[in-house]
């Protein structure tokens, strides 16, 4: 890892996490950690260019088929790759195929950039994480191995106490809030070797009194109706929230701000 590096371009590859859900801006577009990171990098490097190929709902095989070769051809200084977590949350998940696709992605991307960045994605506290933890940890073991073999950096968000806090997750319980995305951007920024702006990004927020029983039940019911049942419906019918959606920022262009190239979110 460099100290005070000079990177002139960034390409972000992945799914909804990298697209920026649920860091919602007033105009209805998503921002997210990759846009925040690009803004910081552009502030210290005139002419900085940025592309974000991420599309919500994508599985790792889809990311390889639809995004990886496009990203590699751009010749960016930095490429971030975050994928595979959607696979681990599917009822039927072949971890052998996930590892093979992730390996293929890294082998294609690493030679085409100065620095490849991988991540151990965050997971909020709760029964969902416990159910899928073995798959997630198998995914992260693969990421660590690939990083060691290909000289990639790994941002360990999974081990960050702050990002396990439910208060940093949106009501859908799948995507980070604006504050969560800010902390991820800080984590990647520091991993790339830039001077910390928030050295304590990984520190948990101050404790507060948990909501009461009735409030929790109302929240759970709303979550099930608005988010869980539609998610299950898409899984049963083979649909994805990203079907038919183009990349957020498909071309490697000079960075003009977090709204450049962003598209409004579709209805859940």
Q: Where are the domains of the chain?
A: 9-254
- Please report which confidence band the pLDDT of residue 213 belongs to, taking 50, 70 and 90 as the band edges: low
C-alpha 241/C-alpha 230 separation (Å) is: 10
Average pLDDT over residues 238-250: 73
Residue 126 region, left (φ>0) first, then alpha (ψ -120 to 50), else beta?
left
Q: For residue 215, what pLDDT is reported?
A: 57
Asked if residue 143 has pLDDT above 60, the reply is yes
Residue 236 has pLDDT above 80, yes or no: no
- Condensed to tens digits (0 to 9), the pLDDT of residues 25-82 reads 888 889 999 999 999 999 999 999 999 999 999 999 999 999 999 999 999 999 999 9
Mean pLDDT of 149-158: 97
* Helices (H), ranges, 49-164: 60-63, 69-74, 85-88, 95-109, 127-150
* C-alpha to C-alpha distance for 149 and 103, rounded to whole angstroms: 10
| Closest to 82 measured CA to CA, from 169, 146, 9, 29 | 146
- The more confidently predicted of residues 178 and 209 is 178
Of the listed ranges 40-44, 81-85, 241-245, the one predicted with least confidence: 241-245
Distance between CA atoms of residues 188 and 117, nearest Å = 8
At 118 the three-state DSSP class reads: strand
Helices (H), ranges, 201-254: 213-223, 229-237
Residues 150-168: b if buried by 16+ CB within 10 A, e if exposed = eebbbbbbbebebbbbeeb
Which CATH number does 9-254 carry?
A: 3.40.50.1110
Predicted pLDDT of residue 1: 56
If pLDDT is split at 50, 70 and 90, which confidence band does 205 have?
confident
The whole-number pLDDT of residue 48 equals 97
With 70 as the cut, is the pLDDT of residue 16 above it?
yes
User: Is 24 within 8 Å of 180 (Cβ atoms)?
Assistant: no
- pLDDT given at position 28: 81
pLDDT level of residue 266 (50, 70, 90 thresholds): very low
Digit-coded pLDDT (tens) for 127-140 = 556 778 899 999 99
- How would you label 64-90 residue by residue, b for 16+ Cβ within 10 Å and e otherwise? beebbebbbebebbbbbbbbbbbbbee
Tell which wins on pLDDT, 232 or 147.
147
Q: Which helix (H) or strand (E) holds 49?
A: strand 49-52
- Check pLDDT > 80 for residue 165: yes
The gap from C-alpha 65 to its chain's centroid, in whole angstroms, comes to 18
Instruction: Choose between 257 and 158: higher pLDDT.
Output: 158
In which band, very low, low, confident or very high, does the pLDDT at 158 lie, cut at 50, 70 and 90?
very high
């Amino acid at each position: 890892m460099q100290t005070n590096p000079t990177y002139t371009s960034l390409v972000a590859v992945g799914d909804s996490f990298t697209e920026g859900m649920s860091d919602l801006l007033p105009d209805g577009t998503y921002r997210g950690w990759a846009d925040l990171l690009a803004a910081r990098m552009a502030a210290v490097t005139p002419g900085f260019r940025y592309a974000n190929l991420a599309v919500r709902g994508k599985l790792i095989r889809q990311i390889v088929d639809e995004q990886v070769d496009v990203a590699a051809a751009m010749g960016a200084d930095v490429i971030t790759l975050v994928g595979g977590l959607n696979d681990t949350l599917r009822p039927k998940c072949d971890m052998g195929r996930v590892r093979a696709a992730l390996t293929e992605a890294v082998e294609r991307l690493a030679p085409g950039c100065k620095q490849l960045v991988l991540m151990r994605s965050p997971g909020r506290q709760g029964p969902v994480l416990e159910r899928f933890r073995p798959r997630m940890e198998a995914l992260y073991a693969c990421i660590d191995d690939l990083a060691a073999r290909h000289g990639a950096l790994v941002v360990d968000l999974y081990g960050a106490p702050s990002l396990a806090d439910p208060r940093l997750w949106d009501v859908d319980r799948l995507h980070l809030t604006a504050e969560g995305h800010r902390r991820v951007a800080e984590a990647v920024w520091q991993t790339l070797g830039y001077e910390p702006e928030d050295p304590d990004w990984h520190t948990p927020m101050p404790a507060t009194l948990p909501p009461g029983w009735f409030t929790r039940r109302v929240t759970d019911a709303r979550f099930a109706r608005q988010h869980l049942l539609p998610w299950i419906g898409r899984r049963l019918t083979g649909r994805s929230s990203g079907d038919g959606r183009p990349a957020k920022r498909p071309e490697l262009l000079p960075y003009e701000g977090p709204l450049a190239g962003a598209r409004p979110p579709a209805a859940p």
